Structure 1
């Protein structure tokens, strides 16, 4: 236990120097750190919402809308499959009495001899849930009264689609917030269908709510010019056509075909720009989208098409010539801010379902400043008391333990800066707790050394036995603490998780500094001074 070769001393020293370098930027303002050479560490510990101030939103994903979209998609798939399925003689299958329920689609097959072929075709639409080996499918097909076929969404399929919708919503929310240029947001799932969003430093949540509140579902559809104005006014449109309001004049309706020419999923980029002095949004499709857009505009020259965002028509220009470059502009009387926001939404992608704001809270920076001040006072008082007690109790060895404790705090800050971890008010509590408990291992070791000295052992043998015999208790205690902290990180969220992160880092660094570093200090002093009698 007292063997410290030169390579081990250099390894420990290098670790401490690297930790101090990563902690160093926290002593200087961010503007000054930004001017440092690029090879120097330049990350600060991120302050959480309760310390820095900012916006807090609790969102709920409209899972009922997810199921509705799923059943609409299922209906389209069933109709397409029925049109493509042929009878044994090559003729078309007759069907009718189409009904769509909350979770099922049913229809009547006119010829009973076609039922088996229809059922087989419908079963081809079913997909496995949760992997190909789960044995569960997302839909069931059944026949009643001999000719009525029902395609029913399964509970497993609905649950899986809801889960994916929430996961996709979290990712898109993250993209949208990142596009706004904010720093280190906290975006976590809560429960089955809720998303917690915390954006430190954002004092006005108005723009955030506007960005997150829109689904941003972009579609390009052809306008049905065959529908007469009086039919639009009365709401009578032919099958395959729907009425959508104009964005700048909701009372004005326009008839568009349901079939989507191209959707926003194939957008490669969207940027705010100007066209003839007015703010617009320039967009560019990916390779596949550009090819489809070029083909659609080539086949429909002279016809108007609608640019639709969240079921509202932004504009309905006429296709004067084929658009083959895969790019274009969206104009709609935007302000500069509206054009910027729309570009952000289109770049981030469409939400799979609308989000509802359940809770909104803004934390001012003054409260955070008070919390930081109180946390610093508690940390300083706790550190001073621990340092004084250790020195008065254990003398020179206590002084070495104090040096290791200071290094421990530096390493905690350095590791948090390196990992980009966020320090919250409970995190400060975890830091204070770590300072108080970091010397536990030293107390165990020093008391064991005292016991060995009372039993008549020599100085070096007593120190060696103290470290060796106390090590098992130290490892058992700290492994237990790490397990508890890991469980808090896994199952907890918000304040609990912030506390657990600092506590876990503190446990690891405490073992390193309190045992290894402090032991190195003691061994180097003992080998240099070689005291005949150790006073401890």
Structure 2
């Protein structure tokens, strides 16, 4: 009789090969994809950051003022004394015939409260909008910090919300003072780019002017990045800001000096082009985080929506600033509330304790399975080893981070995998006790056990998914390893061992020694 192709055994063989090949780099630290150790295992930096949400509100008012200024210029609406304050925007309309047009424009912007006194406008943000801005500032800060750290090259940094307005940042692998300082600077860098017009009429008096006098003209005094004693007088309302930036890359100028090339979106490109076209012969300053990097004279209309920032950067500085710009400006300043360094000795102790628990637990399970179920226990143990290799392989493939709770998840998944094999072997024994033949006991045993195993694993998988979706940090690590372990146990316990038994069924039938194979003395 011709044997049919053993699909389950073939599938198990492929899974074993996959597990072995992708586990080798992690187990023996060779080249290839590896499991990344988390902060609690390899050491690193633990930061608690605060967000100054009030600054995000102030920035929103500045952006609104810039938009109103551009709209009035584009539509040739005459306005005067446009000022952005910490809690409002004010301006005066010079032509009452334009009132309907400016009212319609302001009505389209959500969250504004507009107060009019004849032709004088005062604009504030509604309470709902203020709350939204504060919440969005925290969420955006989390996203931007995570993007920056990913581009910085750190493996699996954890950035999560802590409490109402704090952010918890965990950076595995930060061990040197240099790396720590660079990471801190990258996290705290505002990355707020602005293009601002120079007040050419009054700039000659900038060194003798107070901040209050500059404010009365609608200006602001800012220092140059390379020389804080050198200052320049700029129009307080920026021409455009970094919200219109789409890309930023470190590059080199014609003299081989590091610079940053940036690209604007279509709206920013149009504003940039229109302003430069109308201000040939004047200067426009490139301002980053409140410091002037350059203030070149506009020689001609600048089209294409791109420009560059120069300022005596080092290669690393240019790269880090480009990362900050590319990942998005922080909507509000970040304050370091707490810093804790986790030493590698703690990680080594944690790994040692976890490995002792994993290895000792696995040995006890392996011995029990062999003693109680005979050669069926050996087959179950083979599936158990493949199950662990599959977990490591999948985590390596996706560069997942292994934390201490994650190791607990692996230990739990080992127990679940053994539990599945116990159920299968007991169902086969039930068939023997009912007087069924070996083939029938085997097939019925797997059919009956599979339903129970599938149901229990499905509920476990749902739990793991929910833990990952709603959990944070360490809980996510536990959920990931648990979910991978559950899926691997289904593959190894139900598919793998069934394929092995089918391949060996003739040998088992010929031996007739069910005590050796299943630990059950059957009367023939």
**Which band: TM-score by shorter chain?**
0.7 to 0.9
The 1:287/1:309 distance shift into structure 2, 3 A limit, reads closer
Residue 363 of structure 2 corresponds to which residue in structure 1? 384
The 1:338/1:19 distance shift into structure 2, 3 A limit, reads closer
Cα deviations across residues 265-317 of structure 1 (Å, max 9, x unaligned)? Answer: 4474432647868x542435458677866775565455444332211223445
SS of the residue 1:176 aligns to: helix
C-alpha deviation, 1:333, in angstroms: 5.0
C-alpha deviation, 1:167, in angstroms: 3.8
* Unpaired runs of at least 5, structure 1: 34-41, 87-91, 128-137
Question: Could you state the TM-score of these two structures normalised by the residue count of structure 1?
Answer: 0.80
Contact 1:272 1:343 (C-alpha < 8 Å) held by counterparts: no
Q: 1:165 aligns with which of 115, 125, 137?
A: 137
CA distance in 2, matches of 1:499, 1:95: 60
Q: 1:430 aligns with which of 392, 409, 425?
A: 409
Question: Which deviates more, 240-249 or 199-208?
Answer: 240-249
C-alpha deviation, 1:465, in angstroms: 2.9
CA distance in 2, matches of 1:519, 1:369: 39
CA distance in 2, matches of 1:51, 1:98: 53
CA distance in 2, matches of 1:167, 1:147: 38
1:233 aligns with 2:245: no
Contact 2:260 2:318 (C-alpha < 8 Å) held by counterparts: no
Cα deviations across residues 402-453 of structure 1 (Å, max 9, x unaligned)? Answer: 1111111111111111222111111111112222332111212222333332
Residue 64 of structure 1 corresponds to which residue in structure 2? 54
Q: 1:222 aligns with which of 171, 189, 197?
A: 197
CA distance in 2, matches of 1:25, 1:446: 34
The 1:165/1:273 distance shift into structure 2, 3 A limit, reads same
CA distance in 2, matches of 1:319, 1:142: 38
CA distance in 1, matches of 2:11, 2:348: 38
Q: 2:109 aligns with which of 115, 126, 132?
A: 126
Q: 1:397 aligns with which of 358, 373, 376?
A: 376
The 1:4/1:433 distance shift into structure 2, 3 A limit, reads farther
The 1:285/1:114 distance shift into structure 2, 3 A limit, reads closer
Contact 1:232 1:253 (C-alpha < 8 Å) held by counterparts: no
Instruction: Report 1 or 2 for greater relative contact order, CA contacts < 8 Å, sequence distance ≥ 6.
Output: 2
Question: Could you state the TM-score of these two structures normalised by the residue count of structure 2?
Answer: 0.82
CA distance in 1, matches of 2:404, 2:514: 43
Residue 14 of structure 2 corresponds to which residue in structure 1? 14
Q: Within 5 A, what are the aligned runs for 1:148-227?
A: 151-191=123-163, 193-203=165-175, 204=177, 205-227=180-202
Residue 27 of structure 1 corresponds to which residue in structure 2? 27
Residue 441 of structure 1 corresponds to which residue in structure 2? 420
Contact 1:56 1:361 (C-alpha < 8 Å) held by counterparts: yes
Contact 1:224 1:257 (C-alpha < 8 Å) held by counterparts: yes
Q: Within 5 A, what are the aligned runs for 1:88-487?
A: 102=87, 117=100, 120-121=103-104, 124-127=107-110, 138-140=111-113, 151-191=123-163, 193-203=165-175, 204=177, 205-227=180-202, 229=205, 232-235=208-211, 236-237=213-214, 238-250=216-228, 253-261=231-239, 263-264=241-242, 265-266=244-245, 268-271=247-250, 273=252, 280-285=258-263, 300=279, 302-318=281-297, 330-332=309-311, 334=313, 337-487=316-466
SS of the residue 2:13 aligns to: helix
C-alpha deviation, 1:324, in angstroms: 7.7
Q: Give the total of aligned pairs.
A: 505
Cα deviations across residues 186-213 of structure 1 (Å, max 9, x unaligned)? Answer: 3334455443322221223211111111
Residue 51 of structure 1 corresponds to which residue in structure 2? 41
Q: 1:534 aligns with which of 498, 509, 514?
A: 514
CA distance in 1, matches of 2:90, 2:220: 22
The 1:77/1:345 distance shift into structure 2, 3 A limit, reads closer
In terms of fraction of residues, the more helix-rich structure is: 2
* Unpaired runs of at least 5, structure 2: none
Contact 2:247 2:325 (C-alpha < 8 Å) held by counterparts: no
CA distance in 1, matches of 2:98, 2:311: 50
Contact 2:36 2:399 (C-alpha < 8 Å) held by counterparts: yes
C-alpha deviation, 1:122, in angstroms: 5.2
CA distance in 1, matches of 2:422, 2:488: 17
Question: Aligned Cα RMSD in Å?
Answer: 3.9
C-alpha deviation, 1:72, in angstroms: 3.4
